[in-house]
Amino acid sequence: MSDLKSLYQEIILDHNRHPRNFRKMEEASCSVDGYNPLCGDHYTIYLKMDHECITEIAFQGSGCAISKASASVMSTVLTGKTRSEAEELFEKFHHLVRGEVTGDKDAQYLGKLAAFAGVSEFPARVKCAILPWHTMKNALEEKKETVSTE
Amino acid sequence: MKNTAKISNHPARTFSVEEVRKDFPILSMSVYGKPLAYLDNAASSQKPNAVIDALGQYYRSENSNVHRGVHYLSEVATKKYETARVTVQKFLNAESEREILFVRGATEAINLVAATFGRKNIHAGDEVLITELEHHSNIVPWQMLCEEQGARLRVVPINDAGEIELEEFDRLLSGKTKIAALSHISNALGTVNPIKRMIQMAHQHGVPVLVDGAQAVPHLRIDVRDLDADFYAFSAHKVFGPTGLGVLYGKANLLESMPPYQGGGDMIKSVTFEKTIFNDIPHKFEAGTPHIAGAIGLAAAIDYLDAFDWNVVQHYKQALLHSATETLSAIEGLKIIGTAKEKAGVLSFVLEGIHPHDIGTILDQEGIAIRTGHHCAQPIMQKYGIPATARASFAFYNTEEEIHTLLAGIRKVKKVFGHV
C-alpha cells in the first residue's frame, strides 16, 4: 500500500499552506501559463533572467497541494541557478517523481526537492508535480504557448 | 419524486440492499486492504451478474453478425439484438421500437441529432438553446453546429442553488429557437430539472426538445410519451449496462425527416454507384455492425432493474442522499455545491483550503472511490468560481455504512492537512 505520509510530507504541506514567491512579477523577463485540464490546476510562472542566470522566480495560480508546493519549492530552489543548472534539475525532478532516482548522489543533489519522491507511488499525481516544472522550462525557452500536462 | 411513471404493481423481487450487493461482484472487492466504497456512480455504474452473464452467454453461444446471414447464429443474434430494442422501447414507454436507435453513448446520441436534425433545420440566424447546467457533451456538439451553420448558442442561466431560471428559459425561447437541448439531471450538481414543464414551455413556442438523460435514467422512471420529449439520450454504462452502448429515442416523424448520420452497411436498402436508397428507421441511423453484445447487455440490465418496485428503490436512494447531505453538511469547512430542492444521486462538495484532487487521493487510500475535477461541466465550475469539486454519487447498492466511511475519510483528509 502506498503511504499517504510519503506523499503529503510536512515540507509539502507547509509550502501548500504558505507558498513562497507567490505573487505576480511585473518586471518578468518571461512568463508562461501552465494548465492541467483534467483537474483544473492553473499556474503562471514568472522568470527574471540576468544573462544565463535566474535572478528571481515567482508564480501565481491555483491547484492541488502537490502542484502548488511543487511550484513553491521549485521557486526557492531555482533562484540564483543558471539556465543549464535549472535544466538539469528539471531532468532530475522528472526522474524523481517517476521513481527513477536510486542513487544517494542524486538524492543529495535534489535537496529539498527529494520531498517529492513519494509522488512516484501515486501515478495519478505525477502530472500535478511536474506541471510547474514544465511551465518553467517553457518560460526558460521563452516559449509563450500555454503548457498542458494532458 | 416527479416524473415517475409506469410503476410495476407486482415486483418480482423485494428490494434489500444486502441482497442487491450480492448481485454486483465488484462491490465485495478490497482496495488497499479496505472494503471498496464505490461512490462514483455518476461517472459509471457497476454491473450485476445478470449483465456480465448476458455478455458472456452472447459471446459463448450466440455471437454472429445481425441482419445479414441466413444461418442459425445470425438469426439468434438478430433476434436478441432486436428484442433488446423492444426492451428499451418498453423501458422508455416509447410508442414503437422504430424510435429506439442504438448508438455508442449519450454523447454520440447528441452528436447524431446535431449532425442530422441540426444541419437540416438550423441555419444562419437561428438559435440553439441549452442551459448552464449542461455536461460538455450537450454543449460542444451544439457549439460546433452553430459555428458551422452561423447559428447562435443561447444559454439559460441557473440560480445559486443550481436550478434553472425558468423565467429566463421562457424569455429565451423564440421563433429563432430551432431546438432546446436540456439535461434532465445535472451530473455535476444533481439538480433534477422540471423537464416535463420545460418541454411544455418549449412546445408552446414550437421548439423541439432533446433531453440529455444520461444521469436521469439510473434514477427516474422515464416515460418519453408522458414527457412528450422529441429526443431522449442516455448511456447504458450509467444504468448498470455495458460501456460503448447508448440509446437515442426520437419521435418517429422526426427521425423519418432526418438525413442519415453515417453511411455504410445496414443503413441502406439498395446501393448503386448512381444512387443509394436508405433503409427505414431505426436502421437508417445504424451504419455498420452495431454493438450487439452491448444492446443485449443493456436489455439484461433493464430486466434486472424491472424486477424491483422503483418506488421503493427511489425512496431508498433519496433517503441515502438526504442522509449523506446531512452527514457531510455537519463537517466544518465543507460546502455543498448544488442545493436544488429536487436533487438525485449526486453530492458535490468543496473543503475549505483543500483542493478536491487531494481529497480524492486521500479518500482513495481509504477504499473510497469518488470523482474529483470539473466533471466535464467547466461552465458550472466558473459559475461557482471554483476550479473543481469532489463528487460522491450514489446508486441503489450504496449503504449508510458507506456514508459513514466517507465521513471518516473526509475527517482523515482534514487531519492530513492539519485542519482538525
> Could you tell me if residue B237 is inside a domain?
yes
Of the three residues B306, B339, B371, the one that is the final residue of a domain is B306
pLDDT of residue A1: 45
Q: Which domain holds residue A46?
A: 4-141
> Could you tell me if residue A129 is inside a domain?
yes
Helix (H, G, I), strand (E, B) or coil at B401: helix
For chain B, give the percent of residues with pLDDT over 90.
92
First to last CA, chain A: 26
Min CA distance, A137 vs chain B (Å)?
A: 24
> Could you tell me if residue A24 is inside a domain?
yes
Give the model confidence (pLDDT) of A57-88 as tens digits: 999 999 999 999 999 999 999 999 999 999 99
pLDDT of residue B9: 57
> Could you tell me if residue B8 is inside a domain?
no
**Stretch B332-343: mean pLDDT:** 97
User: Which triple of cell numbers denotes residue B349?
Assistant: 462538495
B357 and B281 share one domain: no
> Could you tell me if residue A47 is inside a domain?
yes
Return the minimum-mean-pLDDT range out of A33-37, B87-91, B202-206, B367-371. A33-37
**Stretch B64-90: mean pLDDT:** 95
B271 and B317 share one domain: no
> Could you tell me if residue B393 is inside a domain?
yes
B293 and B314 share one domain: no
**Stretch B213-231: mean pLDDT:** 98
Residues of chain B in contact with residue A7, where contact means CB-CB under 8 angstroms, are 361
Instruction: State how far the alpha carbon of B194 is from the alpha carbons of A9, B211, B220, in Å.
Output: 48, 11, 13
* Annotated catalytic residue B146: no
> Could you tell me if residue A69 is inside a domain?
yes
Rg of chain B taking only CA atoms, in angstroms:
22
Which of A4, A62, A63 is nearest residue B416 as measured by Cβ atoms? A4
B62 and B176 share one domain: yes
B332 and B230 share one domain: no
B5 Cα distance to chain centroid: 18
Q: Binning pLDDT at 50, 70 and 90, where does residue B86 land?
A: very high
Pairing mode, if any, of strands B246-250 and B231-235? antiparallel
Asked if A123 is an interface residue toward chain B (Cβ–Cβ < 8 A), one would say no
Report whether B240 contacts B48 (CB < 8 A): yes
Number of A–B residue contacts, CB under 8 Å: 56
Q: Element (H or E) spanning A57, and its range?
A: strand A53-62
B42 and B71 share one domain: no
Handedness of CA B144, B215, B25, B411 (dihedral sign): positive
pLDDT of residue B4: 43
pLDDT of residue A130: 96
> Could you tell me if residue A148 is inside a domain?
no
pLDDT of residue B1: 40
Among B77, B359, B376, B413, which one carries the catalytic annotation? B376
B224 and B271 share one domain: yes
Q: CATH number, domain at B337?
A: 3.90.1150.10
Which of B354, B365, B381 is nearest residue A4 as measured by Cβ atoms? B365
Q: Best mutation site among B348, B355, B363, B413 for testing chain A: the one with the most A CBs within 10 Å?
A: B355
pLDDT of residue A147: 77
- Is the confidence at residue A104, as pLDDT, over 80? no
> Could you tell me if residue B7 is inside a domain?
no
Give dist(CA B37, CA B14) in Å, integer.
Answer: 23
Cα–Cα–Cα angle for B385, A148, B354, nearest 5°?
A: 40
Q: CATH number, domain at A84?
A: 3.90.1010.10
Residue A120 makes CB contacts below 8 A (sequence gap 6+) with: A96, A97, A98, A99, A126
Give dist(CA B12, CA B411) in Å, integer.
Answer: 41
What's the whole-number average pLDDT of chain B?
Answer: 95
- Is the confidence at residue B7, as pLDDT, over 50? no
Min CA distance, A92 vs chain B (Å)?
A: 24
- Is the confidence at residue A23, as pLDDT, over 90? yes
Report whether B392 contacts B37 (CB < 8 A): no
Helix (H, G, I), strand (E, B) or coil at B403: helix
pLDDT of residue B374: 87
Give dist(CA A62, CA A65) in Å, integer.
Answer: 9
**Stretch A95-105: mean pLDDT:** 81
Min CA distance, B32 vs chain A (Å)?
A: 6
**Cβ contact, residue pair A8, B417, below 8 Å:** yes
Chain B: residue whose CA lies nearest to A11: B417
Q: Is B321 exposed, middle or buried (CB count within 10 Å of its CB: 0-12, 13-18, 19+)? A: buried
> Could you tell me if residue B6 is inside a domain?
no
B276 and B245 share one domain: yes
Q: Binning pLDDT at 50, 70 and 90, where does residue A103 land?
A: low
**Stretch B114-132: mean pLDDT:** 98
Asked if A62 is an interface residue toward chain B (Cβ–Cβ < 8 A), one would say yes
Q: CATH number, domain at B108?
A: 3.40.640.10
Which of B361, B387, B388 is nearest residue A125 as measured by Cβ atoms? B361
Instruction: State how far the alpha carbon of B330 is from the alpha carbons of B61, B300, B346, B390, in Å.
Output: 53, 40, 17, 16
Number of domains within chain B: 2
Q: Element (H or E) spanning A88, and its range?
A: helix A83-97
> Which one has a higher pLDDT value, B188 or B70?
B188
**Cβ contact, residue pair B32, A2, below 8 Å:** yes
Min CA distance, A70 vs chain B (Å)?
A: 14
pLDDT of residue B212: 98
B101 and B167 share one domain: yes
Q: Binning pLDDT at 50, 70 and 90, where does residue B405 land?
A: very high
Q: Binning pLDDT at 50, 70 and 90, where does residue A144 land?
A: low
Nearest 5°: phi and psi at B333? 85, -5
B86 and B75 share one domain: yes
Q: Which domain holds residue B315?
A: 17-47+309-416
B320 and B242 share one domain: no
B129 and B246 share one domain: yes
- Is the confidence at residue B186, as pLDDT, over 50? yes
User: Per CB distance under 8 Å, which residues of B are interface residues toward A?
Assistant: 32-33, 353-358, 361-362, 365, 372-374, 381, 387-388, 416-418
Number of domains within chain A: 1
Pairing mode, if any, of strands B276-278 and B231-235? unpaired
> Could you tell me if residue B22 is inside a domain?
yes
Return the minimum-mean-pLDDT range out of B56-65, B261-270, B354-363. B261-270
Of the three residues B252, B280, B306, the one that is the final residue of a domain is B306
Residues of chain B in contact with residue A41, where contact means CB-CB under 8 angstroms, are 357, 387
Chain A: residue whose CA lies nearest to B34: A1
What's the whole-number average pLDDT of chain A?
Answer: 90
Report whether B317 contacts B4 (CB < 8 A): no
Return the minimum-mean-pLDDT range out of B36-40, B280-284, B374-378. B374-378
Please give the ipTM for the structure prediction: 0.89
> Could you tell me if residue B355 is inside a domain?
yes
Q: Best mutation site among A7, A64, A126, A131 for testing chain B: the one with the most B CBs within 10 Å?
A: A64
Of the three residues B306, B323, B355, the one that is the final residue of a domain is B306
Min CA distance, A127 vs chain B (Å)?
A: 12
For chain B, give the percent of residues with pLDDT over 70.
98
Residues of chain A in contact with residue B379, where contact means CB-CB under 8 angstroms, are none
Residue B125 makes CB contacts below 8 A (sequence gap 6+) with: B150, B151, B152, B176
Give dist(CA A58, CA A13) in Å, integer.
Answer: 19
pLDDT of residue A2: 60
Percentages helix, strand, coil for chain A (3-state, rounded to 5) are: 50, 20, 30
Give the model confidence (pLDDT) of B195-205 as tens digits: 999 999 999 99
> Could you tell me if residue B11 is inside a domain?
no
Q: Binning pLDDT at 50, 70 and 90, where does residue A37 land?
A: confident
**Cβ contact, residue pair A13, B374, below 8 Å:** no
> Could you tell me if residue A85 is inside a domain?
yes
Q: Binning pLDDT at 50, 70 and 90, where does residue B174 land?
A: very high
Q: Which residue has the cell 492530513?
A: B416
